[in-house]
Amino acid sequence: MNYQQAKVRADILKALAHPVRILIVNALSGGDRCVCELAPLVDIDQSGLSRHLAILKRVGVVTERRDGNKVIHHLQTPCILRAFECAVEVLRSDIERKNLHLKAI
Amino acid sequence: MNYQQAKVRADILKALAHPVRILIVNALSGGDRCVCELAPLVDIDQSGLSRHLAILKRVGVVTERRDGNKVIHHLQTPCILRAFECAVEVLRSDIERKNLHLKAI
DNA sequence: TGACAATATGCACATACTTGCATATAGTGC
DNA sequence: GCACTATATGCAAGTATGTGCATATTGTCA
């Protein structure tokens, strides 16, 4: 793998690597939502939420369509939920390993 | 999912979301390496490489053991390679979708 | 057209991340 | 102990990211 290939991967992961954006993706995995439905789930200013959504849209993880004066957001690539599962696996593995060290004391 | 749960996931993904760290993980997926073996693969200062490794170790993705005066690094949770594949899927899906739009013109 | 709801953007500030340089620490072999 | 190799850390500067506030834009409905 060369630097450019690593960079495009990093850009996608970076777009996912924020608690608010993870909450957004998680919510969208349960179905399409407009901004006003997402707002109560994330403790953040409306403009901030709009910006986080823009980041997810820029990398193509989320897409949008208009419905009246609402913009409906859609999780375009649900495969990224696997990246979250993978993060959980890392956590679990790390805790297990530390427990082992603890027992060894 | 609550904010705290999203945050721990974000911290793991953030640790992966850098081109140099992706190159490191990619190299380690082929077997354990010391810093001196990784250095030529990533175009960065030795101290910078050391810092990137520290970030990966902090979240438990990479572990280390000493061998003489070398520190050997080990990819503790190879499952994160799936996160990279997932990033590639996002890219591919995005390109396909844009191609469709192109054809529609 | 005007009032209103939903969403996006400009700006300014704070915080976090990355990097190189110099220097410190840890281990090896003489 | 000394010279040497491998790796880590303090510091300072540059860059990027996240946030709230105010304001702009887009669409609806009367």
The tens digit of pLDDT for each residue in B16-73 reads 999 999 999 999 999 999 999 999 999 899 999 999 999 999 999 999 999 999 999 9
Whether pLDDT at B103 is above 90: no
pLDDT tens-digit series, residues A49-104: 999 999 999 999 999 999 999 999 999 999 999 999 999 999 999 999 888 887 77
CB contact (8 A) between residue B86 and residue A93: no
Cα distance from B20 to chain A (closest Cα, Å)? 7
What is the average pLDDT across B77-98? 94
Domain ranges of chain A: 3-77
The tokens for A1 are 């793998």
Say what the pLDDT of residue B98 is.
84
SS3 A77: coil
Task: Give the CA distances from residue B44 to residues A73, B35, B55, in Å, rounded to whole numbers and listed in that order.
Answer: 39, 12, 15
Say what the pLDDT of residue A14 is.
98
Q: What is the DSSP string of B1-42?
A: --HHHHHHHHHHHHHH-SHHHHHHHHHHTTS-EEHHHHGGGS
Considering only CA atoms, name the residue closest to the C1' of nucleotide C9: A47
By Cβ distance, the residue of B20, B60, B93 closest to A60 is B93
The rounded distance, in Å, linking the Cα atoms of A30 and B74 is: 37
CB contact (8 A) between residue B6 and residue A23: yes
Nucleotides in chain C near protein beta carbons (<7 Å): 5-10, 17-23, 26-29
Whether pLDDT at B102 is above 90: no
Shortest CA–C1' contact from A68: which nucleotide? D27
The tokens for A78 are 């649900």
Beta bridge partners of A67: A70
Residues B3-77, CATH architecture: Orthogonal Bundle (1.10)
CB contact (8 A) between residue B80 and residue A60: no
What is the average pLDDT across B78-91? 95
